Amino acid sequence: MQTRTVETRRAPVRYLEGGSGPPLVYLHGAMGMTPGDPVLGALASRWHVHAPYLPGYGGTETCGELRDMLDFTLHTADDVEALALETPILVGHSMGGMIAAEMAAIAPHDVSRLALIVPLGLWLDDHPIPDVFSLLPFEMPAYLFHDAEAGAKQMTAGLDMDDPEFLKAFLIGNARQMGMAGKILFPIPERGLAGRLYRIKARTAVVQGQSDRLVPPPYGEAFAAAIPGARLVIVPEAGHMVVVEKPEAVVEAVAGLG
């Protein structure tokens, strides 16, 4: 994966690019993205992948001009336009799925194929989504992974929280990333998307980790029911980080869009 930058009206956007094939845009989740993420490698084996960082992520500055859902949606649409890709497939994970769904709802003729991987953006009173903003790092794996122990090892590999300099850098990174994410996810990750999903015209796949404890399966079902013609793909033995635990299943679901 190569790291590049493209200018947009609101902020310079850093993005990862790699692979070959038809164009695909991947929007990361609130936890961020690294060039080594399994899902990027897997997607790059079939598509020409472009994965923009939201401002505040990937070591970039936050953007004060992005305040609400419409700002995030239009900014990301500007990204995609600036990349000058011919009818890319739009894929979003978690928060990225929420943004992707908004883009497809707001400009239905601009998005032809859409993959929403455990997307945020809906709220079901019977299945409240845990508050990730108050979780301590050691509490997260249980919510994020099907196999929490393996996930925890992956998350903390090479991190030393007892080193004050590392801790400070970690806190700054976290404040940048989750501070930006909070604008559309805090205190409840719902900004009215339910009332707009009917507008989506893209061929859509909703990918749901069967053991996702952050955004459990009723959410996948609700998205699939609200988007005309959407297909629901349930991935067994995968949690919210299905992109880490079962990247090949994500590739298969995206491939199904044609």
Partner 1 sequence: MKFTWFNLMPWPYLPDDFRQKNRSVWVDIDQRLFDPAKSHEVYNTYMDLLEYADTLGFDGVGVNEHHQNGYGIMPSPNLIAAALARRTKDAAIVVLGNSIALYNPPVRVAEEFAMLDCISGGRLVAGFPVGTSMDTNYCYGQIPALTREKYAEAHDLIIKAWTTRDPFAFNGRYTKLRRVNLWPRPIQQPHPPVHIPGGGSVETYDFCIDNTYSYSYLSFTGYIRAKALMQGYWDRVAERNAPDASPYRAGFAQTICVADTDAEAERLYAPHLHYFYNRCLHVYPGYADAPGYRTIKTIQAGALSQYAPPKGFGELTWKDLIEGGHVIAGSAETVRERMEELIKGLNVGNIFCLMHVGDMPAETCMYSSKLFAEKVMPKLRGALPECEGDERFWCKPLAKRVAAGALPAAAAPRVPEPA
Asked if 157 touches partner 1 (CB under 8 A), the answer is: no
Asked if 101 touches partner 1 (CB under 8 A), the answer is: no
Q: Which of 215, 161, 225 is nearest to 188 (CA)?
A: 215
Judged by CB under 8 A, the stretch of 79-87, 92-100, 135-143, 203-211 that binds partner 1 is 135-143
Give yes or no for a cis peptide into 217 (omega within 30° of 0): no
Q: State the first-to-last Cα distance of the chain, in angstroms, to the nearest integer.
A: 24
Residue among 105, 116, 178, 206 that touches partner 1 (CB under 8 A): 178
The burial class, CB within 10 Å (0-12 / 13-18 / 19+), for 189 is buried
Residue among 150, 159, 175, 225 that touches partner 1 (CB under 8 A): 175
Asked if 180 touches partner 1 (CB under 8 A), the answer is: yes
Task: State the minimum distance, in angstroms, from the CB of residue 176 to partner 1.
Answer: 6
Task: State the minimum distance, in angstroms, from the CB of residue 91 to partner 1.
Answer: 25
Residue 170 has, within 13 A of its CA and on its CB side, a CA count of 14
Task: State the minimum distance, in angstroms, from the CB of residue 192 to partner 1.
Answer: 15
Asked if 134 touches partner 1 (CB under 8 A), the answer is: yes
Asked if 62 touches partner 1 (CB under 8 A), the answer is: yes
Q: Which is nearer to partner 1, 61 or 248 (CB)?
A: 61
**Alpha carbon distance 238, 253 (integer Å):** 14
The torsion of the CA quartet 52, 128, 140, 17, rounded to 10 degrees, works out to -10
Which H or E element spans position 6? strand 2-7
Residues lying near partner 1 in the complex (CB under 8 A): 62, 64, 67, 133-136, 139, 164, 167-168, 171-172, 174-183, 186-188
